[in-house]
Amino acid sequence: MRPEDEKLFFGHDLATPLTNLVGAHYLLRMSLPKDDAAGQESLQILEANTRALERMLGWYWRLRELEASREPVAPWPADSLVPRLRNWIEVEGLPIPPPKGEGGPGRFALPAEELDAGLLGAALTLQAAAKVPVAWEFEPREGALVSRWVIDGDEEALDPGRLFRKVYWPGPSKVKPWLDPCLPYLREVLEPRGGSLELTWAEGKWALEAALPLLP
């Protein structure tokens, strides 16, 4: 598919039927009696699948756009990142704890909006995939600021072989799995610019570490 056709297809043509599904769900939710068990279950399935499609297509499209653009970024101060993320979490009401730690000195040449989206998306993805709360903190390290998510406990809490490709969303609905290409997106933000994203299991903890490279 030509890039312009792909853009039209994913960015526009698929957005319309998705909008219609969201709208049909909205109307059904308003009109279905609460005691109609089969109807309510269908509603739940419709909602979960619509959201899954929306998220999958959204991340896929963002990833394609990111791969297509490699424009240089004007440097910006590293200490503005964490307050900005905390603000996003509060404003958007995201179901994740605000990150601990600070940015420290130095500057990034990373695309800010994409970095925010990737970091917040990673936090949401891990929180969804893990069966226990995820701790999130920032720590300055030689030449980089490290964003670390730690999941305490069960090794089975995550499937590392699939995490970068597939995440199972333990939502209230019976509809599973829930696919989210968010981590490949964050990796694509970081790796071409000298950063990294790594998942490790050690001492009874899963840790996902994103190294955000600072300018020399």
37-68 and 15-31 helices, crossing angle to 10°: 160
Binder to another protein among 17, 83, 133, 177 (CB under 8 A)? 17
* Nearer CB in complex with another protein: 26/201: 26
In the window 97-156, what residues touch another protein (CB under 8 A)? Answer: none
Our finding on whether 7 is near another protein (CB under 8 A) is yes
> Which residue has tokens 């601990």?
100
Cβ-based nearer residue to another protein, 19 or 87: 19
Q: Is 2 in the site for another protein (CB under 8 A)?
A: no
Binding-site member from 5, 6, 24, 105 for another protein (CB under 8 A): 24
Torsion angles phi and psi, residue 200, rounded to 5: -130, 155
Judged on CB neighbours under 10 Å (0-12, 13-18, 19+), 34 is: exposed
* 65 forms part of the interface with another protein (CB under 8 A): yes
The DSSP-derived string for 149-193 is EEEES-GGG--HHHHTT------SSS------THHHHHHHHHGGG
Give the nearest distance from C-beta 58 to another protein in angstroms.
Answer: 9
Among 27, 37, 38, 74, binds another protein (CB under 8 A): 27
* Strand 107-108 relative to strand 196-202, pairing: unpaired
CB of 24 to another protein, least distance (A): 6
SS3 of residue 72 by DSSP: coil
Confirm or reject binding of residue 87 to another protein (CB under 8 A): no
- Would you tell me which residues interact with another protein (CB under 8 A)? 7, 11-12, 15-24, 26-27, 30, 54, 61, 65
